[in-house]
Amino acid sequence: MNALLEVKNIVKKYNKIAAVNKISFSIYEGICFGLLGPNGAGKTTAIEIIENIIIPSSGTVLYKGKPRSSSFREEIGIKFQHTVLLSFLTVLETLKTFKGLYHNTYDIEELVDMCCLNSILYQQNSKISGGQKQRLLLAIALINKPKLLFLDEPSTELDPQARHNLWDILLNLKKQGTTIILTTHYMEEAQYLCDEIAIMDHGSIITIGTVDELITKYCDGCKIIVPIDSFNNASDYMDIGIEYTKNKDKIQIQTNDINYCLKKLLAKNVNFSKMVIHKPDLEDVFLNLTGHALRT
């Protein structure tokens, strides 16, 4: 299978600092590809190079096996994290304006239904909420029926209900064959939507794989957290026959064999009602690879 998009040894330097340092990957048609990383990792620079907004210092980007031509921008949709819209235009006028920029487009009505914009069509852009603006920006990104859709932090300012609605829209687009490149700080979002994920830090890609592959590679088993008051006697946890760490009023067990641990705990008549079993997820992968220190 040929890749829809190929990124080959891309470098972007500002003076002597490499914001992007020899990154390479391929994206295949119909998948959602996540590009994750801490603040300052180089994600935005990398995406803007792929979108053909800024020019790399070296390296190449191929679309359908060829250098990007003028048709590339006709076939992609971009939803930036922050976009300034003309405040005096209504939502409907804004959609009509952007529709006029392309040859192959959705009908306005179909797009309005898809992005749940019916209730705000005649409101000015300056009068809509942050979440409503995000839905409008998604509609603008989709207006030309893009084969390749770039989404930069698409869930910003969305409440949980609106976020899940967005995810449903994106999954449906994938089913229709749209390829999506996603940047997000919501690990749950990336885990739910992405078929493949690349994690960047310090300008370089440090790993690529599916969510399951990354969890298997970078995380060690599951965590069992048991409050000490779940034991019949406060001292019973001391000789359960399993290695553990004590943190205040809880013990934490790291294990690759949950069944074995549960049998040991059952033998101590532990009350399981307050027990927590944490299976590793993408957030654990992210923190294990990029650290826990705050990035500014």
Q: Is residue 186 part of a domain?
A: yes
My answer on whether 173 and 196 are in the same domain is yes
Phi-psi region of 270 (alpha: psi -120 to 50; beta: other; left: phi over 0): beta
Question: 262 pLDDT band (50/70/90 cuts)?
Answer: very high
> What is the predicted pLDDT for the residue at 296?
57
Q: Are residues 181 and 263 in the same domain?
A: no
Say if residue 159 is in the same domain as residue 246.
Answer: no
Could you report the per-residue pLDDT of 15-43, keeping only the tens digit for each?
A: 989 999 999 999 999 999 999 999 889 99
- The answer to the question of residue 233 being in a domain is yes
Q: How confident is the model over 221-240, as pLDDT tens digits?
A: 899 999 999 998 878 888 88
pLDDT the model gives residue 70: 87
Q: Which amino acid is at 185?
A: H
Phi, psi of 195 (to 5 degrees): -85, -30
Residue 200 lies in a domain: yes
d(CA 32, CA 158): 20
What is the average per-residue pLDDT within 148-152? 95
Q: Taking residues 249-265, what's their average pLDDT?
A: 93
- Return the number of other C-beta atoms located less than 10 Å from residue 153's C-beta: 19
Is pLDDT at 100 greater than 90 in this prediction? Answer: yes
Q: Which domain holds residue 120?
A: 5-216
pLDDT (average), residues 79-106: 92
Residue % of the chain over a pLDDT of 70 = 98
Q: Average pLDDT, stretch 272-294?
A: 89
Confidence of residue 2 (pLDDT cuts 50, 70, 90): confident
What's the confidence (pLDDT) of residue 271?
93
Q: Are residues 130 and 271 in the same domain?
A: no
Q: Which residues make beta-bridge pairs with 12?
A: 20
Q: Report d(CA 63, CA 24) in Å as an integer.
A: 14
- 116, with CB counted inside 10 A (0-12, 13-18, 19+), is middle
Q: Does the pLDDT value for residue 6 go beyond 70?
A: yes
β-pair type (204-209, 196-201): antiparallel
Per-residue pLDDT at 81 exceeds 80: no
Determine, yes or no, domain membership for 246: yes
Q: Are residues 139 and 234 in the same domain?
A: no
Q: What span, in angstroms and rounded, lies between the C-alpha atoms of 212 and 280? A: 10
145 lies in the same domain as 267 = no
Distances, alpha carbon 7 to alpha carbons 29, 43, 176, 254, in Å: 14, 13, 24, 39
Q: Do 170 and 30 sit in the same domain of this protein?
A: yes
Residues 6+ away with beta carbon under 8 Å from 281: 187, 191, 215
In the structure, what pLDDT confidence band is assigned to residue 294 with cuts at 50, 70 and 90? Answer: low
> Do 146 and 204 fall within a single domain?
yes
Long-range contacts of range 172-177, CB-CB < 8 Å, 24 or more positions apart? 173/142, 173/149, 174/30, 174/31, 174/32, 177/29, 177/30, 177/147
**Residue 145 resides in a domain:** yes
Helices 282-290 + 211-218 axis angle, to 10: 50
In this structure, are 209 and 229 located in the same domain? no
The DSSP bridge partners found for residue 227 are: 250
What pLDDT is recorded for position 31?
Answer: 97
Residue 292 in domain: no
Do 182 and 249 lie in a common domain?
Answer: no
**How many domains does the chain contain in total?**
2
Q: How far is CA 131 from CA 92, 158, 169, in A?
A: 17, 5, 15
The residues, any chain, with a CB within 8 Å of residue 268's CB and separated by 6 or more, are 231, 232, 236, 237, 240
Q: Output the domain CATH number for residue 252.
A: 3.30.70
232 and 164 both lie in a single domain: no
